[in-house]
């Protein structure tokens, strides 16, 4: 579904990603772990098409098409979704209206009619129940005065509504207490199918107790230095990243 080949990216002239290779198949959950500043969030932003980052080299192939040159909205139309580490607040636009606009723009790009008001309402009801979201929440201005947990829950709610093929969860666990974390993880798990994939970016192993990855990658200084199964995450939790740094230097 997603192949990243030798991806190099810079921000303001500084190279952050230094040759990333990654391949994700439908139905899989991949996790990317790594210390602060290793380039995790940059990778998420670059896949989503953030124009602040310049791709110097390499390709991003999604569903057999090279999407490296596509705008963020075009990537979303193809089914890529990024759950933000720091969701932006937009006073004056309600959660409901934002999601309606988003869904209908995506449908438009696929040549579909707008979703009927009753279908929209029905789906919203269904998905908000799944994530334990109160109906009052839906009429609030997007992310305005939301608590950390509400913001993250709202991101996953949008994901549930948009049903992307590839969901990238950037530090979705940060700022969540354990109960909120469980709700969010539970929501993500319920949305999993054989046809979609999830890329979880996280600092801590704890989220991976709930969203169990098929593959864990370690990102260090802009490169994936090790990949393994879920036990790799546990080892990182126990031993930190230092042993990998030595390994990289020695290699």
Partner 1 sequence: MAQTDQDLKEKLISSFFAFEEQMDLENDHHQMRDDAIKIFEEKGFPTKKLEEWKYTSLRPVLNSDFNLFPKEEKSLEYNDIKKYCIHDIDSYQIVFIDGVYSSHLSTTTHDKFDACLMSSFLNRPKYKPLVDKYFNQITPKESMDALNTAFSKEGAYIRVPKEVAAEKPVQILNFSTGSDEKLMLQPRNLIIVEEGAEVEVIERHQSLTENEVLTNSVTEIFLEKNAKLDHYKIQNDKQKASLIDSTYVKQAESSDCEIYTFSFGGKLTRNNLHYFQDGEYINSSMKGVTIIEDKQHVDHNTLVHHTQPNCESHQDYKGIFADRSTGVFNGRVLVDKIAQKTNAFQSNNNILIDDKATINSKPQLEIFADDVACSHGCTIGELDEEALFYMRSRGIPEKEARALLMYAFANNVLNSVNIPELKRRITKQIANKIGVSLGFEL
Binding site for partner 1 (CB under 8 A): 48-52, 71-73, 75-77, 81-82, 84, 87-88, 90-93, 96-98, 100-106, 109, 114, 117, 158, 162
CA distance 33 to 232: 10
Identify which of residues 144 and 179 has a Cβ nearer to partner 1 in the complex. 144
Question: What separation in angstroms does the CA of 174 have from each of 85, 90, 225?
Answer: 8, 21, 24
- In the complex, the smallest distance separating the C-beta of residue 111 from partner 1, rounded to whole angstroms, is 14
DSSP state of 86: S
- In the complex, the smallest distance separating the C-beta of residue 25 from partner 1, rounded to whole angstroms, is 23
Element of type H or E holding 101? helix 95-109
Identify which of residues 78 and 235 has a Cβ nearer to partner 1 in the complex. 78
- In the complex, the smallest distance separating the C-beta of residue 244 from partner 1, rounded to whole angstroms, is 31
- In the complex, the smallest distance separating the C-beta of residue 54 from partner 1, rounded to whole angstroms, is 15
- In the complex, the smallest distance separating the C-beta of residue 115 from partner 1, rounded to whole angstroms, is 10
Identify which of residues 9 and 218 has a Cβ nearer to partner 1 in the complex. 9
Identify which of residues 69 and 73 has a Cβ nearer to partner 1 in the complex. 73
Identify which of residues 82 and 188 has a Cβ nearer to partner 1 in the complex. 82
Q: Coil, strand, or helix at residue 240?
A: coil
Identify which of residues 133 and 220 has a Cβ nearer to partner 1 in the complex. 133
Residues whose CB is less than 8 angstroms from the CB of residue 244 and which lie 6 or more positions away in sequence, other chains included: 218, 220, 225, 226
CA distance 207 to 196: 19
Looking up tokens 């334990």, which residue turns up? 132
- In the complex, the smallest distance separating the C-beta of residue 135 from partner 1, rounded to whole angstroms, is 17
CA distance 69 to 55: 9
Question: What separation in angstroms does the CA of 189 have from each of 100, 101, 210?
Answer: 24, 26, 8
CA distance 39 to 16: 6
């Amino acid at each position: 579904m997603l192949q990243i080949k030798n991806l190099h990216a810079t921000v303001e002239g500084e190279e952050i990603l230094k040759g990333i290779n990654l391949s994700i198949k439908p139905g899989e959950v991949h996790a990317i772990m790594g210390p602060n500043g290793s380039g995790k969030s940059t990778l998420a932003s670059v896949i989503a098409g953030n124009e602040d980052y310049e791709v110097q080299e390499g390709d991003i192939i999604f569903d057999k098409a090279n999407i490296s040159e596509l705008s963020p909205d075009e990537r979303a139309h193809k089914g890529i979704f990024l759950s933000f580490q720091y969701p932006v607040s937009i006073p004056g636009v309600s959660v409901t209206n934002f999601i309606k606009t988003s869904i209908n723009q995506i449908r438009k790009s696929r040549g579909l009619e707008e979703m009927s008001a009753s279908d929209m309402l029905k789906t919203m009801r269904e998905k908000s129940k799944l994530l334990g979201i109160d109906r009052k929440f839906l009429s609030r201005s997007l992310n305005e005065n939301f608590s950390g947990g509400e913001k993250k829950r709202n991101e996953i709610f949008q994901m549930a509504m948009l049903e992307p093929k590839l969901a990238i969860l950037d530090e979705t666990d940060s700022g969540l207490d354990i109960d909120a974390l469980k709700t969010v993880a539970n929501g993500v798990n319920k949305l999993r199918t054989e046809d979609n994939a999830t890329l979880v970016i996280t600092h801590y192993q704890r989220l991976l107790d709930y969203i169990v990855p098929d593959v864990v990658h370690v990102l260090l200084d802009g490169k994936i230095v090790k990949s393994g199964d879920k036990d790799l995450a546990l080892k990182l939790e126990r031993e930190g990243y230092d042993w990998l740094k030595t390994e990289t230097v020695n290699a």
